[in-house]
A and B are shown apart, each in its own frame.
Chain A
Amino acid sequence: MRPTPDELITHVRRVLRDVVEPELTSSYARSRLAEIRAALAQIPWNEAGLRLADASDTLRDLLLKCRTWIESDEARKKHFADSLPAFAGLPEAVPEDFAACNEIRARYDELVIELIGPLEDWLLTGKDDGTGAELRRELLSAVVS
């Protein structure tokens, strides 16, 4: 596929800089053009979809690990009782297109949000053996990947 998405965006940015910008007389328009060029440079266009899918897979695996961790201990099962039903509808990460992938990722993110309060509270109980703290670190890392 040529031009690749990256190539297309790179050269559109170049044309905006070399051809369009010199013709602009309005400082407002020049500022907007600079912002457009900067915004276009922020996305890794070739990998955006693939990265989203990979990140969703990683997050799903981690959420399944959280469920196993909760269910493997009676005290944790009791503490996280209100959160467990949310795991039931965890969708498979096999999206057909970008929109579906984005939708699935949003569902995973919602479940992470559901876990924040109970997990932070659990860590304050003094009952954690270190595995909850480790899951906290992993989740915080996964949600920004």
Chain B
Amino acid sequence: MSGSPEAESVEVVGQRLRSFLAARNAGAEGVAIEGLQRSGNGSSRENWPFDASWRQEGSAVRRKLLLRRDPPSAVVDTGRATEFALLKALESTPVPAPVAYWLDDEGTELLRPSMIVDRHPGRAHRAVLRDKNPLGLAEPVRAELAENLCELLAQVHRVDVAEAGLLEVLPSPTPDPATAELDRWERLLDDAELEPQPVLRWTLRWLRDHVPAPPERLVLVHGDFRPANVLVHNGAVEVLLDWELAHLGDPLDDLGWYCAPVYTREHFIPGVWEQDDFLKRYRELTGTAVPADALLFWQVLALFRLAVIALQGIRIFCAGETDRPAAPPTALLRLLAGIVSENPGKARHAPDPR
């Protein structure tokens, strides 16, 4: 929801941005903001694209920028300072991520906690691989893009987290990546549920009975890797967006998210690029084994997370704290109940260490 009307005003946000940029760029003169608007996308952060210009030591500076600002209530509370530090650390890696310029962690200057990053050309669309083809790509280009997405994920997972300094930015998961994520998302469920959620509680029990063996090495997990968060320009990957759910963990975490059953129609192209093609290419690129039982665990956890995010959206909607309407996540709950029902009992044996 809107919070204070001042915080939603393009004029006020623009004035604040001018002052903020002037303060952050010593010697900058004549800071101007153009084209500022609040874009329609972004669920856990507001996105405000704009162009900024100023004079610095006699030279004209012009930047295409994006203000990423916390909403008054978010579906997942994530630390923007951590995301900012992560983006800074990624600058030394080949991963195409936005360059983060400035942070207002407390929101004292930009009305709410915010960061400013560079803005790239292109569009991110969740249905980019589907036949509706919102970006108007030729069929071979779409097929190549689908494979490039797999290569992009492998690139993220190949980052040497120690060398990139990520061990100082992101906490190491304890006692293991799967349990750490389960603990985190159980806390989020506790916070989100307005009424008892037997399917999700049953799913939690199932997940705890099926925790996979830890991975051989920790990787950088994007946490929300999907076409909707990949900016595509001229049919090619431009930059990977939305790092607020990133963490250190199991590479299968991102695979389970990407291969979650609710995303099948969006993430694969029937007869051209299916889940098996994706996993085969991923294994070729990373050498990471993908045991079926471990993948199922992470797929179920992905559905569980989506349901918790939906419940959190319902909670803040019912409290009048968001402009985004929310309906019960019935389809997700049915899917989870079906999987838990069809896969009773504990994992029969601990999966082989990968």
Contact = CB atoms under 8 A, between A and B. Distances in A.
Interface of A: 26-32, 35-36, 39-40, 42-43, 102, 106, 109-110, 112-113, 116-117, 120, 123-124, 133, 136-137, 139-141, 143-144
Contacts of A141: 337, 341
Given A42-B327, A120-B205, A143-B337, A27 B40 contact: yes
Interface in B168-209: 195-199, 201-202, 205, 209
6 contacts: A27-B38, A42-B327, A106-B196, A113-B201, A116-B198, A144-B333
B325 A36 contact: yes
B122 to A, nearest CB: 16
A111 to B, nearest CB: 9
B341 A136 contact: yes
A39 B325 CA distance: 6
A40 B344 CA distance: 35
Interface string B312-331: 00000000000111111010
Given A140-B199, A143-B337, 20 more contacts: A26-B37, A26-B38, A27-B37, A28-B37, A29-B40, A32-B40, A32-B324, A32-B325, A35-B324, A39-B326, A42-B327, A42-B328, A43-B327, A109-B197, A112-B198, A120-B209, A133-B344, A140-B337, A143-B199, A143-B202
B195 A123 contact: no
B41 A136 contact: no
B345 interface: yes
Given A113-B198, A117-B205, A32 B341 contact: no
A81 to B, nearest CB: 20
A39 B202 contact: no
Given A26-B37, A113-B201, A106 B195 contact: yes
B327 to A, nearest CB: 4
B300 to A, nearest CB: 13
Say whether chain A's binding surface is mostly helix, strand, loop, or mixed. Answer: helix
Most buried by A among B198, B327, B334, B346: B198
B340 interface: yes
Interface residues of B, number: 30
Nearest to B8: A28
A124 B346 contact: yes
Contact of A109 (B195, B323, B334, B341): B195
B202 A144 contact: no
A144 B334 contact: yes
Contact of A140 (B197, B202, B326, B330): B202
Given A35-B324, A141-B337, A109 B205 contact: no
A32 to B, nearest CB: 5
Contacts of B337: 140-141, 143-144
Contacts of B345: 123-124
B349 to A, nearest CB: 14
Given A109-B196, A141-B337, A144-B199, A116 B205 contact: yes
A28 B327 contact: no
Contact of A116 (B40, B201, B324, B334): B201
B201 to A, nearest CB: 5
Nearest to B49: A27
Interface in B247-303: none
A28 B198 contact: no
Nearest to A138: B341
A124 B344 CA distance: 10
Contacts of B327: 39, 42-43
